[in-house]
Amino acid sequence: MKTKSLPAKGINRREFIQSTARATAALSLWSAAPYVARGRVLGANDTIGVGYIGVGGRGSSHIATVRRLIEGGEKAKVVAVCDVYRYRLNEAAKPTGAKAYMKHKELLADPNVDAVCIATPDRLHVPQALDAIRAGKDVYCEKPMGHWSQFDLSRKFYEETIKLKRVVQIGNQGNSSPAWHKVRELVQQGAVGRVQLVTLGFYRRGDWGERMPIPDPQAKPGPDLDWEAFLGDAPKVPFTVNRFFSWRKYLDYAGGPCTDLFPHVFTPFVSAIGLKFPSRVVASGGIFKYTTYDREVPDTFNMCLDYPEKLSIVLPCSLANDYPPEAAIRGDEGTLTLQNPGEWNAGFDSITIVPPKGESRVYPAGKMDPTPKHWQNFLSCVRSREKPVSDVEFGLHVTAALNMAMLSLLKEKVAKFDFAKTKIVI
Ligand SMILES: NC(=O)c1ccc[n+]([C@@H]2O[C@H](COP(=O)([O-])OP(=O)(O)OC[C@H]3O[C@@H](n4cnc5c(N)ncnc54)[C@H](O)[C@@H]3O)[C@@H](O)[C@H]2O)c1
């Protein structure tokens, strides 16, 4: 890895102010654009029609979440489902009575659909989300916002969301976790002074890359499986059941821990500290564990990010084992640590502030799956036209960092961010 090209010094104060001013100007579209519904205008008592694009593992779980919210009084209805694999499509349509579509554009043309949930493989998120906002729908888009090769398209999605005044929630559900709200509150109250270094880790025994099941080894493209639609804008390669069902192993559709797992751990820190685009990112790693099968995505991934606020984040990840990580947010007036995290976005047991001298302070936190709260936030914003907690602008900041890290690893170079053009330079 060519880390020699990293400048020895950080940027100076004038450069920092200029670069953040440019970034703010580029992104101030957001605050200048109040949300006004261009699709159906929904009143407080109207039922929101929800359509699902991609009803595999996560899509089905989102259907179950929204159905539970409906049982609890939420005014929404599962009106349509779409999948390119007919077996899953039928399984999702049966219990819900939703209209079934094999093509996402046909679901988007359905006037009963007000909002869509996109839970397809990563490479399809942004193209389908763009189609959805252009069709006048609001969008709950699963993480990662875009595939690692699609930063310019992700920026287009951000720009058009503002222009078309759509409500977009990115599926970084950690942003709806009360434990993370407490971290944000403490950091922003200055509990550790000015944050300069964040160190954390993500450790698991294995990942979904190697575990994704192949339910039908005889499956073939045809009327019950649309391979062309699965590929989207990915290279046109012949069908294999591995690529179709175990797509997380392949770089054309996924990125491994950086884009699949880091949205859960890195994202809540970005949100808690209030960061935007990093100025430079370098990554290392490779396939160090799963060396015996056709996995293309790394299983070991370490990334270092510098932000213009003169702050670094260091995040190693290994799938060798799940020995617990430690996390620390260090400022010049103290260190914030998190105790006993489970799945990161679900929270942790407590937060400790360790000052340079004197007693530590401990704040209770707690773990819960924040996905239902994330949906409630989205649905309430669909009505109010307010900005959701994990909106498209936040999604773009996170996706920039993760895309830069992937490109750094694959190209063996330092990735830099051009704040004036909102572009990755590598
Ligand atoms: N936020 C979270 O905690 C979380 C958890 C799991 C997965 N996810 C995200 O959800 C997404 C889906 O993951 P998964 O585990 O459900 O994968 P999956 O393979 O189980 O489901 C994906 C589904 O999309 C379908 N599909 C493929 N191409 C399509 C197209 N063009 N149109 C419509 N449907 C299409 C597939 O047939 C499949 O049923 C991923 O991007 C993943 O990162 C997020």
Cα separation, 65 vs 73, whole angstroms: 13
Q: Is the dihedral of CA 57, 59, 65, 67 positive or negative?
A: negative
What pTM was estimated for this model as a whole? 0.91
pLDDT band at residue 324 under the 50/70/90 scheme: confident
DSSP conformational letter for 322: -
- Say which CATH superfamily domain 3-25+175-210+253-368+419-425 falls into: Dihydrodipicolinate Reductase; domain 2 (3.30.360.10)
Write down the mean pLDDT value for the chain: 90
Report the first-to-last Cα separation within the chain, whole angstroms: 14
Cα separation, 93 vs 111, whole angstroms: 18
pLDDT above 90: residue 378: yes
Ligand 1 neighbour 374 (Cβ under 6 A): no
With vertex at residue 405, the alpha carbon angle to CA 403 and CA 411, rounded to the nearest 5 degrees, is 95
Give the lowest-confidence range in 24-28, 66-70, 189-193, 229-233: 24-28
Instruction: Give φ, ψ of 303 to 5 degrees.
Output: -135, 145
Choose the residue to mutate in 55, 65, 84, 374 for probing ligand 1, maximizing ligand atoms within 8 Å of C-beta. Answer: 84
Q: Which two tokens stand for residue 49?
A: 């029609």
pLDDT at 38: 54
Cα separation, 151 vs 93, whole angstroms: 33
DSSP, collapsed to helix, strand or coil, labels residue 406 as helix
Q: Which two tokens stand for residue 69?
A: 């919210």
Q: Residue 420's closest CA among 284, 282, 297, 279? A: 279
CA atoms within 13 A on the CB side of 26: 20
Q: Indicate which residue's Cα is closest to atom 27 of ligand 1.
A: 230
Phi-psi region of 358 (alpha: psi -120 to 50; beta: other; left: phi over 0): left
Contact assessment for residue 276 and residue 407, using Cβ atoms and an 8 Å cutoff: no
Ligand 1 neighbour 56 (Cβ under 6 A): yes
Number of other CB atoms surrounding residue 377 within 10 Å: 20
Ligand 1 neighbour 121 (Cβ under 6 A): yes
Domain positions in the chain: 3-25+175-210+253-368+419-425, 29-174+373-399
Q: How far, in Å, from the CA of 283 to the mean position of ligand 1?
A: 26
Contact assessment for residue 56 and residue 119, using Cβ atoms and an 8 Å cutoff: yes
pLDDT band at residue 12 under the 50/70/90 scheme: very low
pLDDT above 80: residue 339: yes
Ligand 1 neighbour 375 (Cβ under 6 A): no
- How would CATH label the architecture of 29-174+373-399? 3-Layer(aba) Sandwich (3.40)
Ligand 1 neighbour 127 (Cβ under 6 A): no
Give the lowest-confidence range in 38-52, 140-154, 239-253: 38-52
Q: Indicate which residue's Cα is closest to atom 38 of ligand 1.
A: 56
pLDDT at 227: 98
Contact assessment for residue 241 and residue 217, using Cβ atoms and an 8 Å cutoff: yes
pLDDT at 236: 97
Q: Residue 49's closest CA among 128, 133, 94, 107? A: 107
